Amino acid sequence: MSKLSHVCLAAGLAAAAGLAGTPALAAQADQNAPKEDAMPATPADPYLWLEDVTGDKQLAWVREQNARTEAELAGAPGFDKLESDILAVLDSDAKIPYVGKRGEYYYNFWQDAQHERGIWRRTTLEEYRKDEPKWETLLDLDALNKAENENWVWHGADCLRPDYTRCLVALSRGGADADVTREFDLTTKQWVEDGFYRPEAKGSLGWIDRDTVYVATDLGPGSMTESGYARIVKEWKRGTPIESATVVYEGKPTDMAIGAGHDDTPGYERDFVYRALAFYNNELYLRGKDGKLTKVDVPNSAQKSVQREWLGLELREPWEVGGKTYKAGSFIVTRFDDFMAGGRDFDVLFEPTDTTSLAGATMTKSQLVLNVLDDVKNRLSVVRHGADGWTSEPLRIGDMELGTTSVGAVDADESDALWITTTNYVTPTTLMLAEQPGKAEPETLKTMPVFFDASRDVIEQHFATSKDGTRVPYFIVHPKDLALDGSAPTLLYGYGGFEISLTPSYSGTVGKGWLEKGGVYVVANIRGGGEYGPRWHQAALKEKRHKAYEDFAAVAQDLVARRITSPQHLAAMGGSNGGLLTGNMLTQYPELFGAIVIQVPLLDMKRYSHLLAGASWMAEYGDPDTADWEFIKTFSPYQLFDPAQDYPATFIWTTTRDDRVHPGHARKMAAKMLAADKDVRYYENTEGGHGAGATNKQSAHVWALNYTFLWNELAK
């Protein structure tokens, strides 16, 4: 709903929230190596040595496995064309250049064949409306990398209003979550000499005013949490040593992360401190001009947002306050100043039903746009506050029934204008500008080009019945003339964690690599995600984790029952938390699949909380150092692996530069499977962070390996 959301994310949680960014840098190898003092090695684990991310012996093992995988997959007929086709999609000049408004300019970061690492640029709205806008280049990362002999990856910029001439630019080596922040002058297009600079760490740097910032970063021993994020936030004045900066808040080592931010909305300037204890467990404090912190006394589990005069809460648990009880999943609002003065009277703007959940609440200058999922289909409404309270009316955008509609404020301080995007699996994404939402038709600004032939495909939504009787939705894209004989190569994708919803979107990579070749593509909306709000997420937490896996297996079984495919033609794919999902499909449901793809995964759940950011996920999975291990071990693929069991063909991949999910998970699982002579191949990209690659070329190569593997196994 608000700028406060950005304040919270500045603590370094945006990337971590999805489990979905990157390295063990050479300079940080000591942080990424096994922490023997934290937890003794399991005697039966002969592959612990592979957790040393940048060791010579370990990287030699990686190179050996990469060569083996490349020989099989990159040498296969058609690989070069597939890689070229995917790269053409990623490098296309016709992609939508998404922009963010700052002052009179619209800013964009862009990568293509000529700009491998990318350029940061800006234009005007008048130019942006054109098919080929004129852009002003502000920063060329390829040129910067050449000049500095680095491999910087763009991590964003925070520019100071009202003149927007000074920006704090975040850059990451190789795509890691850890990054540096440097002060940049938009007038001279140069780094500010002796400007603000935050060294490499998982932290944040944000403006208060031109000469003052909030900084949360690695300040030496004891300054980081056990999750690897900043534990201390300071107010730092220009020209003074960071060591002498004023401590604003100091959290505990067991906290997840600490951050602070300044809301510069004219007339509503405020400062906040954010303490994350775990995912969906955080505290928010208002910081007064005297430095005193006053807690915003709302449930820790609620998602909190403050914009202009309003405090908004998305509740994850029922809350009894002011003589009323508000349902979990509800979105409630009140005036922020009234609340801080003791008022507890809220208005309910959304209350969930059995089929609905709140996908988002976007506030503009004078109204709020609610985005509701109804059986994983978007429904928009405009909510306004007047003399008679809140009123609501539908906001109808096109007729895309099975698709995704997203909204975002263009400039919440200045207008009610919205960016609106619509997309689905076979329809290229469209970007619209609604300058008067609900009052005038939006203007179509950009449309993604057609990257693959989807003329013969159709999208459907079905529901499978899970083991406990729960109704589990899934989307399927298949040829209109599909023969229901169980022979169709079918790719089933899932995630199921951290309250993240999987909704339809257009992907040229999926299209070129899978759909255009006749494959069936399925996305499962399993428990653990957010498709039905907090209850759907909470239904698969900790000791209930198996529910997510039962849901995914139920979708697989439903596809077979419908004669769409059969186990020998069905593959499972997932990354990060989704890699844990597919790791469990491999070890618990091997009979359902002909192939498994496990991407940047968690797999060793006995050690996960001691590796990189793993400690921050214990609210999701449990603490393996306690009695929780009794249920965690039931979904830990590394421990569940049985050398005597038959398993489907498997492809495991990760990146050396993943400093979120430790590459040791993937390495050790592959090594264990190889030692048991299983049908497994392993690949590790040297860059890319918690993703496929730092450049389009790297990403195209990794995705071509994925799809080549799948076609080799499923089209037999």
| pLDDT tens column, 634-662 | 999 999 999 999 999 999 999 999 999 99
Above 60 in pLDDT, residue 37? Answer: no
Is 343 part of any domain? no
Q: Are 410 and 462 in a shared domain?
A: no
Q: Which residue, of 403, 431, 448, is where some domain finishes?
A: 448
Share of the chain above pLDDT 90, in %: 91
- The CA distance from 31 to 102, in Å, is 38
| Residue range 608-634: mean pLDDT, rounded | 97
- The CA distance from 179 to 204, in Å, is 9
Q: Are 1 and 43 in a shared domain?
A: no
Is the separation of the CB atoms in 209 and 235 below 8 Å? no
Model confidence at 13, pLDDT cuts 50, 70, 90, reads very low
Question: Residue 237 pairs with which residues in a beta bridge?
Answer: 212
Q: Are 381 and 398 in a shared domain?
A: yes
Is 319 part of any domain? no
Above 50 in pLDDT, residue 288? Answer: yes
Is 642 part of any domain? yes
**How far is the first Cα of the chain from the last one, in angstroms, to the nearest whole number?**
49
Mention every residue, 6+ apart, whose C-beta is less than 8 A from residue 477: 425, 426, 457, 458, 459, 515, 520, 521, 522
- Confidence (pTM): 0.92
Q: Which residue, of 426, 448, 470, is where some domain finishes?
A: 448
Q: Do the strands 246-250 and 356-363 form a parallel or antiparallel pair, or are they unpaired?
A: unpaired
Residue of 115, 610, 665, 690 marked active site: 690
Is the separation of the CB atoms in 556 and 593 below 8 Å? yes
- The CA distance from 314 to 516, in Å, is 40
Q: Are 395 and 528 in a shared domain?
A: no
Is 538 part of any domain? yes
Q: Are 576 and 518 in a shared domain?
A: yes
Q: Are 274 and 366 in a shared domain?
A: no
Q: What is the dihedral of CA 480, 482, 483, 485, to 10 degrees?
A: -140
- The CA distance from 682 to 146, in Å, is 31
Q: Which residue, of 448, 466, 501, is where some domain finishes?
A: 448
* Range in 210-214, 452-456, 690-694 the model is least confident about: 690-694
Higher pLDDT, 25 or 191: 191
| Residue range 455-468: mean pLDDT, rounded | 98
Predicted confidence (pLDDT) per residue in 196-212, tens digit: 999 999 999 999 999 99
Model confidence at 43, pLDDT cuts 50, 70, 90, reads low
Is the separation of the CB atoms in 712 and 46 below 8 Å? no
Above 80 in pLDDT, residue 517? Answer: yes
- Print the domain residue range for 1: 1-16+96-295
Mean pLDDT computed over every residue of the chain: 93
Q: Are 166 and 151 in a shared domain?
A: yes
Above 80 in pLDDT, residue 32? Answer: no
- Residue for token pair 């392993």: 682
Q: Are 518 and 443 in a shared domain?
A: no
- Residue for token pair 């029922």: 318
Chain-centre distance for alpha carbon 187? 33
- Residue for token pair 């004078």: 366
| CATH code: domain of residue 60 | 3.40.50.1820
pLDDT at 98: 97
Q: Do the strands 179-185 and 197-201 form a parallel or antiparallel pair, or are they unpaired?
A: antiparallel
Is 314 part of any domain? no
| Residue range 131-160: mean pLDDT, rounded | 97
Give the residue among 29, 453, 12 at the shortest CA–CA distance from 229.
Answer: 12
Predicted confidence (pLDDT) per residue in 403-414, tens digit: 999 999 999 999
Residue of 357, 501, 576, 699 marked active site: 576
Q: Are 435 and 495 in a shared domain?
A: no
Above 60 in pLDDT, residue 480? Answer: yes
Rg, Å, the chain Cα set: 25
| Residue range 15-41: mean pLDDT, rounded | 31
Above 70 in pLDDT, residue 14? Answer: no
Q: What 3-state DSSP class applies to 36?
A: coil
DSSP string, 261-328: EEE--TT--EEEEEEEEETTEEEEEEEPTTS-EEE--S-TTSEEEEETTEEEEE-SS-EEETTEEE-T
Is 28 part of any domain? no
Structural domain count, the chain? 3
Predicted confidence (pLDDT) per residue in 310-339, tens digit: 999 999 999 999 999 999 999 999 999 999
Model confidence at 400, pLDDT cuts 50, 70, 90, reads confident
pLDDT at 123: 98
Q: Are 211 and 137 in a shared domain?
A: yes
pLDDT at 576: 97
Work out the number of other CB atoms within 10 angstroms of the CB of residue 678: 18
pLDDT at 2: 39
Above 50 in pLDDT, residue 34? Answer: no
Give how far Cα 413 sits from Cα of 80, 210, 296, 365, Å: 49, 20, 23, 5
Predicted confidence (pLDDT) per residue in 105-122, tens digit: 999 999 999 999 999 999
Is 62 part of any domain? yes
Is 332 part of any domain? no
Q: Are 264 and 358 in a shared domain?
A: no
Q: Are 400 and 479 in a shared domain?
A: no
| 690 annotated active-site | yes
Is the separation of the CB atoms in 445 and 432 below 8 Å? yes
| CATH code: domain of residue 155 | 2.130.10.120
The greatest distance separating any two alpha carbons of the chain, rounded to the nearest whole angstrom, comes to: 72
| Residue range 18-23: mean pLDDT, rounded | 30
Mention every residue, 6+ apart, whose C-beta is less than 8 A from residue 716: 568, 594
Share of the chain above pLDDT 70, in %: 94
